[in-house]
Amino acid sequence: MSDRRTAVAAAADRAAGDAAGAAGAVRAAGSGGAVGVGAAGSGGAVAAGPVGAGGAGGGAGSGPGDLGEGGLEALLESHRVELTGYCYRMLGSAFEAEDAVQETLVRAWRGFAGFEGRAAVRSWLYRIATNVCLDMLRGRGRRAHPMDLASPVSADAPLPEALPEVTWISPAPDGRVLPEGGDPAELAVARESVRLAFVAALQLLAPRQRAVLILREVLAWKAAEVAELLGTTVASVNSALQRARATLAARGTALGPAAGPTAGPAPDATPAAAPVSGSAGVSGTARARGIAGAPGASGASAGGRRGAARGGGSRGAAALDGPSRALLDRYVDAFEAYDLDALTALLREDAALTMPPYGLWLRGPEDIRGWLSGPGHECRGSRLVPAAANGTAAFGQYRPSGPGGRHEPWSLQVVEVSADGRISGLHAFLDTARLFPLFGLPDRPDRPD
pLDDT digit string (tens) for the chain, length 449 residues? 455 545 544 544 444 343 333 333 333 333 333 333 222 333 333 433 333 333 233 333 344 446 666 788 888 899 999 999 999 999 999 999 999 999 999 999 888 877 766 678 899 999 999 999 999 999 889 999 999 999 999 999 999 999 999 999 999 999 999 988 888 888 888 999 999 999 999 999 999 999 999 999 999 999 999 999 999 999 999 999 999 999 999 988 876 543 333 233 334 333 333 333 333 333 332 322 222 333 333 333 444 444 444 333 344 455 566 778 899 999 999 999 999 999 999 999 999 999 999 999 999 999 999 999 999 999 999 999 999 999 999 999 999 999 999 999 999 999 999 989 999 999 999 999 999 999 999 999 975 44
Spatial distance between the Cα atoms of 370 and 288, rounded to a whole number of angstroms: 41
Q: How far apart are the first and last CA of the chain?
A: 22
For residue 184, is the peptide bond before it cis, meaning its omega torsion is within 30 degrees of 0? no
For residue 115, what pLDDT is reported? 76
Give the pairing of strands 423-429 and 347-355. Answer: parallel
pTM: 0.76
392 Cβ partners below 8 Å, 6+ apart? 191, 195, 316, 317, 319, 320, 414, 415, 416, 417
Q: Are 117 and 138 spatial neighbours (Cβ–Cβ below 8 Å)?
A: no
Determine the length of the chain. Answer: 449
- H or E element that contains 102: helix 94-111
Q: Are 416 and 198 spatial neighbours (Cβ–Cβ below 8 Å)?
A: no
Spatial distance between the Cα atoms of 268 and 91, rounded to a whole number of angstroms: 23
Spatial distance between the Cα atoms of 362 and 367, rounded to a whole number of angstroms: 6
Total H helices, total E strands in the chain: 20, 6
For residue 70, what pLDDT is reported? 76
Q: What is the three-class DSSP state of 398? A: strand
Spatial distance between the Cα atoms of 230 and 239, rounded to a whole number of angstroms: 14
305 Cβ partners below 8 Å, 6+ apart? 292, 293, 332, 383, 384, 385, 386
Burial pattern 74-90, b for ≥16 Cβ within 10 A else e, equals bbbbbbbbbbbbbbbbb
For residue 187, what pLDDT is reported? 87
Amino acid at 321: D
Report angle CA 403, 165, 162 to the nearest 5 degrees.
Answer: 60
Q: Where are the alpha helices (DSSP H) in 252-310?
A: 284-289, 302-307
CA distances from 431 to 356, 358, 412 (A): 8, 11, 8
Give the pairing of strands 358-363 and 408-417. Answer: unpaired
Helix 64-77 with 19-29: angle, nearest 10 deg: 80
Q: Are 124 and 109 spatial neighbours (Cβ–Cβ below 8 Å)?
A: no
Burial pattern 193-207, b for ≥16 Cβ within 10 A else e, equals bbbbbbbbbbbbbeb
- Ordered structural domains, the chain, with CATH: 3-142+204-251 (1.20.140.160), 284-438 (3.10.450.50)
Q: What is the largest CA-CA distance in the chain?
A: 66
CA dihedral sign of residues 183, 185, 190, 192: positive
230 Cβ partners below 8 Å, 6+ apart? 46, 47, 130, 208, 211, 212, 237
Spatial distance between the Cα atoms of 157 and 170, rounded to a whole number of angstroms: 24
